[in-house]
Chain A
Amino acid sequence: MKIKDSYILIFVFLLTLAFRLSFVLQSENFSSDLAYFNLRQIESIEKTGRPIFEDNLSHSGRTFLFPPLFNYIMAFFNILFGSLALKIIPELLISSLVFIVYLISREITSDKVAMFLSVLLVSFMPVLIEQTMNQLSVYSLILPIMFLMFFCLFKIDEKKYQYLYIVLLFFLSFLHPVALLFSLSLLFYMVVSSAESIWISKLRKEVIFFSIFLIILTQVVVYRNAFASHGINVLRFNTPQEILSDYFRNFSIINTMLTIGVFPLIFGIYGIISGVFKERRYAALLLSGLVLATTLLLAFKLIPFLTGLLLLGIPLTILASKGFEKVFTLVRITKFARFEDKIRYMSLIVVLLSLVTSFFTATDVMDNSISGEEIDSLVWIRDNTEEDSVVLASIEEGNLINAVANRKSIIDKDFLLISDAGERYRDVTFMFRSTSLVKALQLLREYKVDYVYFSDRAKTIYNLNSLAYTNEECLRLVKETGKTKIYRVRRC
């Protein structure tokens, strides 16, 4: 890498980091309910050295099933650098994709402008921002690790990359079940190579098989109880039928274009055709394995929609560097050849302009972050209710009730090992939407609800302005903070 390139790269990294931090540091709070689940686990690790597996708060009592490695890593940073680390470190990690994407793009194309276009597009991809900004999300660690592993695979003949790959593989296996997607992508790589009669070195085959074995073993070990309880349904995380269509949406080109971006999609597909079928580049083949695997899982609704688009968008964007290169080469052989440099830099500007959508996405993410008012309400619950109180809140706020209010919830978005997930979801929906006090009270008593937390989010989710059955005698308003209302369920 020439010194000039490294300066540009560092500049892009700092730009990405600055962009993210400028939004993330606007608020003390996080932008997703799941962040508070992670936060609670991190706090538990700091206090007791262990995460919470047997929890008496979530669903009013349940067992969690998850690999806690990410929480341990974040707990480590939290201890070292304080709570700000939980905001900064994930953004730092995801911004490191800049370097990794550059390194991978270099294996696909030699055109520098094309490389930097891909780097920029990945760094400011809307779905990446939506899924990782201010979320304390495990994907902020998974994505750099996964793509770094792809890079190591390109260089696997060198011993140092073999060792690095093995270490990263152990990390990925114990981070998240998305590791299975990685192993599936390796399988697809082998299938595509075989179909195109492309020779795969013995070492690469060995590494791939070892990767698949290790990932399968770790997932079976971690999720064995989930397999025993839910069988095949575990592939969809035991998500209730009623909300399956939300998480596992229909996969369409329009949706993909809007979420990933037009350039990555069009140029990425062009990059696959060129890199895989014409030039038969090893790097392109490997990445196309990931594209194929993710597309298949999206088509069969075996992966949450947004997660799938995230894992589809990044390799497509990297492969788009080959697409850009081809377009520039095309220009070179036309009458516009003398404008080639100008066209390259124009395309850079066009791409930069298209990144404006990222700005809007980031703004949306921050607008959707947990507000100070919500935190105040939850803290009020914590300070003014009995310790074993049960609080009814929407599905998007279950973890907030547990983490901030430190109270029992009825439901949240983690359905593994919950035997009555569907029933709970229907009951909670009914408890919010019911127009009948009698029927609502029946369910409130069944779930032993002491308080109802009715926030703006609940209004949006259940399409309500207010609870239809409030009644001074049975459901008294005890706290109102701006748009959030807290009701006490009384014996009546």
Chain B
Amino acid sequence: MLRKQGKPRFIGLEGADLVWLIAVLSIAAVTLIMPFLARDSLAGSEAYYNLRIAKNPFVSYDELSYSGRIYILSLWPLMLYVTNLPLVFASKFLPYLFGLLSVLLFYISLGSLNLNLKTKVIASILLVISPTYLYLFSTSNSYLFPVSLSLLVFILLIKRVTAASFLLIPIPFFNTLSGVIVASLLLFYSLKERYFKLIFPTLAIILAILVKLVIYGLPETVNFKTAGSGARFFIQNFLSDLGGKFGFSIFFLVLVIFGLGYLWEKKYQNLSIYLSGLFLLAVSFYKIEALFYLIFMFSLVAAMGLIKIFNLKWDSLLIRNLSVIILTLGLLFSFANYLGVFSRLAPSESLIEGLENLREISGEDDVVFSHYSKGVWINTIAGRKNVIDSNFQYAPDVNQRYIDSNEFFYTRRVKNATTIIDKYNISYIFIDGEMKQGQVWNNEGEGLLFLFEYSKRFKNVYKKNNVEIWQVR
């Protein structure tokens, strides 16, 4: 049903293939631009972190994060730097470019697998309207290059160009998760195809991960639960319709289930797909970013599911047509809904305005205390040191800082607050509406809010749109 006859072609796109590729790329060009139109500022913490580091990616010590810490090399800010473009523009343009490139590579890779035109086109369209793909390629993050590179290498590996797999060695220097995933998938592939030459590049990638560990040592184990962990967080972010940053649409998953049903007709012939999918799903429970790799596989499986649904012998054509319409509407709605979610991702305009104000009223060496989720923005937008941020790996005394943060948030005693202020040399405290509505406090007058009201130690120097800045006297 899905494969065409004849030898697998390499790129050899011609005729209808080329026309449909251009159509798919055009759709991708449109879908990828829409998140940028939905908001002016960058979205998320990582984009701002990369923006800041890209200004000077050759440092070995980060002065601002945690008020000073060893900088763990990441190649993505370096890539932003070498483009020689204005960094904010590069933070938007490079993801967009790699987004288009990845669609092209995905389409070609499907051709290399000898899949027919219908499957390739549907899989590519499902990919470009999926929230995970859109998030990956509309935010400046360290995953988009490894993902794109992996697709390229995959195409070359199908043609048995073993040397191409060595291109994956630098991937752990973008982020460790990508290194682990790529090494694992390479191993699955080599075992499935009995392509044992791939063991060497796999080992090289593992070595690269170990080199990173040797250079920087083992990170301190984080002993606390963050907002970005747990079953509830996983479910909410796995299903984009539940308001997660990315994830899969419910209708997309329905198609995946049908696609798996189709694959299961051939039982264990597709074992490698099942294993890879299960592996990525399991990893995504701990690091949701594993979905960035899974989306490509799932898009293909979902396409198979959609084709299967259409090719089934339905007893009622009316029900069939209505079902396909509903599924299509569901997928399109998820895409449209995601744009709304993306536009509301932090940091908000009021938060940015507050941080810009913080930059103006504070001194260069001042330390700003806030919830760890605001830490990166304090560094990048306000250009000030923070006490704690969401980059927990290799952070100095991360567990103690978390405990101290909570102590500071919830204490009503000036003496306790003063101890923490002196310990971290805090000059300003930055709070926003989210912190007052459950992220930190639930009630007015709770903990530090009580001290703000009644202690002369703190002076309010900014208050606008639920953002407040308090100076420590």
Does A348 sit within 8 A of B, measured CB to CB? no
Whether A423 pairs with B443 at a CB distance below 8 angstroms is yes
Whether A206 pairs with B323 at a CB distance below 8 angstroms is yes
Interface string of B311-333 (1 = CB under 8 A from A): 00111101110110011011001
Interface string of A214-241 (1 = CB under 8 A from B): 1011001100100111111010000000
Whether B316 pairs with A206 at a CB distance below 8 angstroms is yes
Q: Which of B320, B333, B443 contacts A220 (CB 8 A)?
A: B333
Q: A206-B316, A228-B243, A231-B243 are in contact. Are A213 and B232 (CB under 8 A)?
A: no
Whether B242 pairs with A166 at a CB distance below 8 angstroms is no
**Given the complex, which residues of B lie within 8 Å of A216, measured CB to CB?**
250-251, 330
Does B344 sit within 8 A of A, measured CB to CB? yes
Q: Once bound together, how far apart are the Cα atoms of A213 and B249, in whole Å?
A: 12
Whether B235 pairs with A220 at a CB distance below 8 angstroms is no
**Given the complex, which residues of B lie within 8 Å of A230, measured CB to CB?**
243
Does A131 sit within 8 A of B, measured CB to CB? no
Q: A202-B315, A206-B316, A422-B442 are in contact. Are A224 and B337 (CB under 8 A)?
A: yes
Q: Once bound together, how far apart are the Cα atoms of A326 and B426, in whole Å?
A: 78
Whether A203 pairs with B316 at a CB distance below 8 angstroms is yes
* B261 vs chain A, min Cβ distance (A): 12
Q: Once bound together, how far apart are the Cα atoms of A221 and B438, in whole Å?
A: 26
Whether A420 pairs with B437 at a CB distance below 8 angstroms is yes
Does B281 sit within 8 A of A, measured CB to CB? no
**Given the complex, which residues of B lie within 8 Å of A11, measured CB to CB?**
none
* A217 vs chain B, min Cβ distance (A): 5
Instruction: Give the one of A201, A206, A216 with max B CB within 10 A.
Output: A206
Q: Once bound together, how far apart are the Cα atoms of A135 and B452, in whole Å?
A: 48
**Given the complex, which residues of A lie within 8 Å of B437, measured CB to CB?**
419-420
Q: A213-B251, A220-B330, A422-B442 are in contact. Are A162 and B318 (CB under 8 A)?
A: yes
Whether A232 pairs with B254 at a CB distance below 8 angstroms is no
Does B404 sit within 8 A of A, measured CB to CB? no
* B331 vs chain A, min Cβ distance (A): 10
Of chain B, the residue at the smallest CB distance from A216 is B250
> Using a CB-CB cutoff of 8 Å, which residues 330-346 of chain B contact chain A?
330, 333-334, 337, 340-341, 344
Q: A229-B243, A231-B243 are in contact. Are A213 and B333 (CB under 8 A)?
A: no
Q: A217-B333, A229-B243 are in contact. Are A210 and B326 (CB under 8 A)?
A: yes
**Given the complex, which residues of A lie within 8 Å of B444, measured CB to CB?**
446
Q: Once bound together, how far apart are the Cα atoms of A162 and B327, in whole Å?
A: 20
* A476 vs chain B, min Cβ distance (A): 27
Whether B315 pairs with A213 at a CB distance below 8 angstroms is no
Does A209 sit within 8 A of B, measured CB to CB? yes
Interface string of B230-248 (1 = CB under 8 A from A): 0010011000011100000
Whether B251 pairs with A217 at a CB distance below 8 angstroms is yes
Does A192 sit within 8 A of B, measured CB to CB? no
Q: Once bound together, how far apart are the Cα atoms of A446 and B333, in whole Å?
A: 40
Q: Once bound together, how far apart are the Cα atoms of A229 and B244, in whole Å?
A: 10
Whether A213 pairs with B442 at a CB distance below 8 angstroms is no
Whether A203 pairs with B315 at a CB distance below 8 angstroms is yes
**Given the complex, which residues of A lie within 8 Å of B340, measured CB to CB?**
224, 228
Q: Once bound together, how far apart are the Cα atoms of A214 and B232, in whole Å?
A: 25
Q: Once bound together, how far apart are the Cα atoms of A422 and B442, in whole Å?
A: 8
Whether B333 pairs with A232 at a CB distance below 8 angstroms is no
Whether A227 pairs with B232 at a CB distance below 8 angstroms is no
Of chain B, the residue at the smallest CB distance from A157 is B315
Whether A217 pairs with B323 at a CB distance below 8 angstroms is no
Q: Once bound together, how far apart are the Cα atoms of A216 and B313, in whole Å?
A: 24
Q: A228-B344, A423-B443 are in contact. Are A210 and B330 (CB under 8 A)?
A: no
**Given the complex, which residues of B lie within 8 Å of A168, measured CB to CB?**
none
Does A207 sit within 8 A of B, measured CB to CB? yes
Q: A217-B329, A220-B250, A232-B232 are in contact. Are A227 and B243 (CB under 8 A)?
A: yes
Whether B319 pairs with A217 at a CB distance below 8 angstroms is no
Whether A221 pairs with B333 at a CB distance below 8 angstroms is yes
Instruction: Give the one of B232, B250, B320, B326 with max A CB within 10 A.
Output: B326
Q: A162-B318, A423-B443 are in contact. Are A217 and B236 (CB under 8 A)?
A: no
**Given the complex, which residues of B lie within 8 Å of A207, measured CB to CB?**
316, 319
Whether A206 pairs with B236 at a CB distance below 8 angstroms is no
Whether B235 pairs with A206 at a CB distance below 8 angstroms is no
**Given the complex, which residues of B lie within 8 Å of A224, measured CB to CB?**
241, 243, 337, 340
**Given the complex, which residues of B lie within 8 Å of A420, measured CB to CB?**
437
Q: Once bound together, how far apart are the Cα atoms of A419 and B438, in whole Å?
A: 9
Whether B322 pairs with A166 at a CB distance below 8 angstroms is yes
**Given the complex, which residues of B lie within 8 Å of A231, measured CB to CB?**
232, 236, 242-243
Q: Once bound together, how far apart are the Cα atoms of A207 and B465, in whole Å?
A: 50
Whether B315 pairs with A214 at a CB distance below 8 angstroms is no
Whether A162 pairs with B316 at a CB distance below 8 angstroms is yes
Whether B344 pairs with A232 at a CB distance below 8 angstroms is no
Interface string of B257-283 (1 = CB under 8 A from A): 000000000000000000000000000
Of chain A, the residue at the smallest CB distance from B322 is A210
**Given the complex, which residues of A lie within 8 Å of B323, measured CB to CB?**
206, 209-210, 213
**Given the complex, which residues of A lie within 8 Å of B333, measured CB to CB?**
217, 220-221
Q: Once bound together, how far apart are the Cα atoms of A420 and B322, in whole Å?
A: 40
Q: Which of B241, B254, B314, B344 contacts A206 (CB 8 A)?
A: B314
Of chain B, the residue at the smallest CB distance from A446 is B444
Q: Once bound together, how far apart are the Cα atoms of A373 and B243, in whole Å?
A: 45
**Given the complex, which residues of B lie within 8 Å of A166, measured CB to CB?**
318-319, 322
Whether B329 pairs with A228 at a CB distance below 8 angstroms is no
Q: Once bound together, how far apart are the Cα atoms of A202 and B241, in whole Å?
A: 29
Whether B315 pairs with A423 at a CB distance below 8 angstroms is no
Q: Once bound together, how far apart are the Cα atoms of A209 and B251, in whole Å?
A: 12
* B178 vs chain A, min Cβ distance (A): 27
Q: Once bound together, how far apart are the Cα atoms of A203 and B326, in whole Å?
A: 17
**Given the complex, which residues of B lie within 8 Å of A419, measured CB to CB?**
437-438
Of chain A, the residue at the smallest CB distance from B331 is A217
Q: Once bound together, how far apart are the Cα atoms of A203 and B329, in whole Å?
A: 22
* A187 vs chain B, min Cβ distance (A): 12
Whether A232 pairs with B242 at a CB distance below 8 angstroms is yes
* A248 vs chain B, min Cβ distance (A): 17
**Given the complex, which residues of B lie within 8 Å of A209, measured CB to CB?**
323
Q: Which of B232, B316, B344, B442 contacts A423 (CB 8 A)?
A: B442
Q: Which of B243, B254, B337 contacts A213 (CB 8 A)?
A: B254
* B229 vs chain A, min Cβ distance (A): 14
Whether A232 pairs with B236 at a CB distance below 8 angstroms is yes
Interface string of A123-158 (1 = CB under 8 A from B): 000000000000000000000000000000000000
Of chain B, the residue at the smallest CB distance from A208 is B319
**Given the complex, which residues of A lie within 8 Å of B334, measured CB to CB?**
220
Q: A217-B333, A232-B236, A419-B437 are in contact. Are A206 and B315 (CB under 8 A)?
A: yes
* B42 vs chain A, min Cβ distance (A): 20
**Given the complex, which residues of A lie within 8 Å of B236, measured CB to CB?**
231-232
Q: Once bound together, how far apart are the Cα atoms of A166 and B326, in whole Å?
A: 13
Q: A217-B329, A220-B330, A221-B333 are in contact. Are A210 and B319 (CB under 8 A)?
A: yes
* B102 vs chain A, min Cβ distance (A): 27
Q: A216-B251, A231-B232, A232-B232 are in contact. Are A206 and B319 (CB under 8 A)?
A: yes
Instruction: Give the one of B316, B329, B437, B438 with max A CB within 10 A.
Output: B316
Q: Once bound together, how far apart are the Cα atoms of A176 and B329, in whole Å?
A: 20
**B interface residue numbers (CB < 8 A to A):** 232, 235-236, 241-243, 250-251, 254, 313-316, 318-320, 322-323, 326-327, 329-330, 333-334, 337, 340-341, 344, 437-438, 442-444
Extra 7 A-B pairs, beta carbons < 8 Å, given A228-B341, A423-B442, A426-B443: A202-B313, A216-B330, A220-B250, A224-B241, A224-B340, A229-B243, A234-B242
Give me the 9 closest cross-chain CB pairs, A-B, nearest first.
A228-B243, A203-B315, A231-B236, A213-B326, A210-B323, A227-B243, A206-B319, A217-B330, A227-B242
18 A-B residue pairings within 8 Å (CB atoms): A162-B316, A162-B318, A166-B318, A202-B313, A203-B315, A203-B316, A203-B319, A206-B320, A213-B254, A217-B333, A220-B333, A224-B241, A227-B242, A227-B243, A229-B243, A230-B243, A423-B442, A446-B444
**A interface residue numbers (CB < 8 A to B):** 162, 166, 201-203, 206-207, 209-210, 213-214, 216-217, 220-221, 224, 227-232, 234, 419-420, 422-423, 426, 446
